[in-house]
Structure 1
Amino acid sequence: MTNAIVLINVESRQLQNVAQSLVDIDEVSEVYSVGGRFDLVAVIRARTNEAISDIVTDQFPQIDGIRNTETLIAFKVISKHDLERMFSIGAE
C-alpha cells in the first residue's frame, strides 16, 4: 500500500463541496478541514505510486473549487495503530 497526503487550497465557499467530492474517490480514506496555509488535507491510500499520480493529476483537477495542491508521498508509516492488520481481518 502506498500512502500520500495532499494539501489543498480551495476557492471561497467551496470547502464542503470539494471535501465531499474528494471523499467520494475510493482511494481517498480521509479528508480533514484544517487551519493554516491550506484548507483541506486528503489522505490517499492506493496500491501504487502510479495510482496516486492518476488520482492527483487526473481526478483532482476535475473537482470544481480546487485552486492548488501539494502532494507528499509517505515513505514509511509510524503509527500506534496496526493498519495492515486491521484491514486484513478475514483475509486469511
Structure 2
Amino acid sequence: MPTAIVMIDTEQALIPEVATQIAAVPGVSEVYSVTGEVDLIALVRVPDHRDFASVIADTMSKIPGVLKTRTYLAFREFSPTELDEAFDIGLEG
C-alpha cells in the first residue's frame, strides 16, 4: 500500500485541534505531535498513489491552522518482521 510521511507546520495554539482533524481524514493512519522542526507528522496510506493528492493537497493542507506540509513518499518498508523473514530465507536447520 502506498505510504507517505507528511511533515506539518501548524499555528502553535491549534496543534491539538489540527492533529484531531487530520487524524479524521480518510487515508490518514496515524498522527504524531513531535519535537523538532515540525509540529506534526502524519502517516498516510492509500490504495493508489493518485489518492495522495486528494488526501494531502485537497484535504489536509486546507485544514484551518495548517501552515505548510512537506510530503515524503516511502519506497520500501523495513520492519523487524520483514527483516527476520528476509534473513531466514534458505536457512532451514
**Alignment partners' CA distance in 1, 2:69 and 2:49:** 17
Q: Could you say which residue in structure 2 is the equivalent of 1:46?
A: 46
1:35-74 mapped onto 2 (5 Å cutoff): 35-74=35-74
TM-score by length of 2: 0.83
- 1:27 Cα deviation (Å)? 0.8
Shift of the 35–60 alpha-carbon distance from structure 1 to 2, 3 Å rule, reads same
RMSD after superposition: 1.1
- 1:18 Cα deviation (Å)? 0.4
Q: Secondary structure at the match of 1:14?
A: helix
Gaps of 5+ in 1: 83-92
8 Å CA contact 2:25–2:60 kept in 1: the answer is no
**Alignment partners' CA distance in 1, 2:24 and 2:60:** 11
Q: Give 1 or 2: higher helix fraction.
A: 2
Give 1:19's aligned amino acid: A
- 1:15 Cα deviation (Å)? 0.3
TM-score by length of 1: 0.84
Identity %: 34
Shift of the 34–57 alpha-carbon distance from structure 1 to 2, 3 Å rule, reads same
**Alignment partners' CA distance in 1, 2:19 and 2:81:** 25
1:1-92 mapped onto 2 (5 Å cutoff): 1-81=1-81
Gaps of 5+ in 2: 83-93
- 1:81 Cα deviation (Å)? 4.7
Q: Which runs of 4+ in 1 moved over 4 A?
A: none
Larger of the two Rg values belongs to structure: 2
